[in-house]
Structure 1
Amino acid sequence: MNSPGDDGVEQSGALLPETRRALLRRLAIGQAQGRAPSMTGAVVRDGEVAWSGARQGIPGGAGGAGVQYRIGSITKTFVAVLVLRLRDEGLLSLGDPLGKHVPGSAAPDVTVAQLLAHSSGLSAESRGPWWERTPGSLRPEPGDLFDENPRRLPAGRQHHYSNPGYALLGSLIEQLRGGRPWGEVLRHEVLEPLGMSRTTLQPQAPHTEGWAVHPWADVLLPEPAQDTGLMSPAGQLWSTIEDLGRWAAFLVRGDDRVLGAATLAEMRTPAVPPEDTEWDGGYGLGLQLMRWNGRLLFGHTGSMPGFLASLWIDPAEDVAGIALANCTSGPAISAAAADLAGIVADREPRIPEPWQPLAGPLDEDLLALTGPWYWGAHPYVVRLAADRGLQISLMSGPGGRGSRFRAESDGTWTGLDGYFMGERLRVVRGEDGSVSHLDVGTFVFTRGPYEPAGPVPGGVDAEGWRGR
Structure 2
Amino acid sequence: MTITQSAEPQEPAPVGHVPVPVDSCEAFVGLLPQTRRSLLRRLAIGQAEGRVPSMMGAVVRDGLAVWSGARTSVEGEVPNGDVQYRIGSLTKTFVAVLVMRLRDEQLLRLGDPVGKHLEGTPVPDATIAQLLAHSSGLVAETRAPWWERTSGELRPEPADLFGDRPQRLPAGRRHHYSNPGYALLGALVERLRGGMPWDEVLRREVLRPLGMSRTTLQPGMPHAGGWAVHPWADVMLPEPAHDTGLMGPAGQLWSTLDDLCRWATFLLRGDERVLSAATLAEMRTPAVPPEGSAWEAGYGLGLQLVRREGRTLVGHTGSMPGFLAALWTDVDEDVAGIVLANCTSGPAVAAIAADLTGIVVEHEPRIPEPWRPLPGPLDPELLALTGLWYWGANPHTLRLRAERGLELAPLSQAGRSSWFRAEADGTWTGLDGYYAGETLRVVRDPEGSVSHLDLGTFVFTRGPYEPAEPVPGGVDPEGWRV
CA spacing shift, 1:168–1:276, aligned 2, 3 Å: farther
TM-score by length of 2: 0.94
The one of 450, 453, 475 aligned to 1:438: 453
Alignment of 1:65-80 (within 5 A): 65-80=81-96
1:83 alignment partner, SS class: helix
Matched, 1:103 2:119: yes
Whether the aligned pair in 1 keeps the contact of 2:23 and 2:78 (CA below 8 Å) is no
Distance 1:173 1:17, change over 3 A: same
* Match status 1:37 vs 2:57: no
Listed one character per residue, the Cα deviations across residues 400-423 of structure 1 (whole Å, up to 9, x for unaligned) are 111000000000000000110000
Tell me the alpha carbon deviations over residues 290-329 of structure 1, each in whole angstroms, 9 at most, x when there is no partner. 1112211100000000000000011111000000000000
CA drift at 1:273 = 3.3
Q: Is the 8 A contact 1:120 1:160 kept in 2?
A: yes
Alignment deviations for residues 179-203 of structure 1 (CA, whole Å, 9 cap, x no partner): 1000000000000000000100000
Aligned counterpart in structure 1 of residue 279 of structure 2, from 263, 271, 281: 263
Q: After TM superposition, give the deviation of residue 58 of structure 1 in Å.
A: 2.2
| Residue 410 of structure 2 is aligned to residue 394 of structure 1 | yes
TM-score for both structures, normalised by structure 1: 0.97
Query: Do structure 1's residue 415 and structure 2's residue 430 form an aligned pair?
Result: yes
Distance 1:275 1:400, change over 3 A: closer
- Indicate if the aligned counterparts of 1:85 and 1:258 stay in contact, CA closer than 8 A: yes
CA RMSD of aligned residues (A): 1.4
Secondary structure, in 3 states, of the residue corresponding to 1:140? coil
- Structure 2 residue identity aligned to 1:157: R
Which amino acid in the other structure matches residue 385 of structure 1?
R
Cα offset, 1:463, TM superposition: 1.1
Aligned length: 462
Aligned to 2:168: 152
Deviations 1:183-238 (A, max 9, x none): 00000000000000010000011110000000111100000011000000000000
| Distance in 1 of aligned mates of 2:365 and 2:25 | 25
**Structure 2 unaligned residues grouped into runs of 5+:** 2-21
Q: Which residue of 1 aligns with 2:132?
A: 116
Aligned equivalents of 2:371, 2:244: Cα separation in 1:
51
Determine which of 441, 452, 460 is the counterpart of 2:467.
452
**1:118-166, Cα deviation, whole Å (9 max, x unpaired):** 0000000011211001110111111110001100000000000000000
Tell me, in whole angstroms, the C-alpha distance in 2 between the residues paired with 1:132 and 1:94.
Answer: 28
Q: Is the CA contact (8 Å cut-off) linking 1:37 and 1:61 kept in structure 2?
A: no
Q: Equivalent residue for 1:383?
A: 399
Match status 1:19 vs 2:35: yes
Does structure 2 conserve the Cα–Cα contact (< 8 Å) formed by 1:38 and 1:61? no
Asked if 1 retains the 8 angstrom alpha-carbon contact of 2:453 and 2:459, the reply is yes
Partners in 2 of 1:54 and 1:108 — Cα distance?
45
CA-to-aligned-CA distance 1:233-261 (integer Å, 9 cap, x gap)? 00000011111110011011111110000
- Segments of structure 1 that go 5 or more residues without pairing to the other structure are none
> Are the counterparts in 2 of residues 450 and 460 from structure 1 also a CA contact under 8 Å?
yes
Q: CA deviation at 1:274?
A: 4.5
Aligned residue identity for 1:461: D
**Aligned residue type for 2:471:** V
Structure 2 Cα separation of the partners of residues 236 and 309 of structure 1: 12
Alpha-carbon offset, residue 425 of structure 1: 0.4
DSSP 3-state at the match of 1:132: helix
Q: Tell me the alpha carbon deviations over residues 357-409 of structure 1, each in whole angstroms, 9 at most, x when there is no partner.
A: 1001111001000000000011101000000000000013x241110000000
For residues 62 and 279 of structure 1, do their structure 2 counterparts lie closer, same or farther at Cα, with a shift above 3 Å needed?
farther
Letter in structure 2 aligned against 1:427: V
SS in 2 for 1:419: helix
How far 1:279 moved relative to its partner? Answer: 3.9
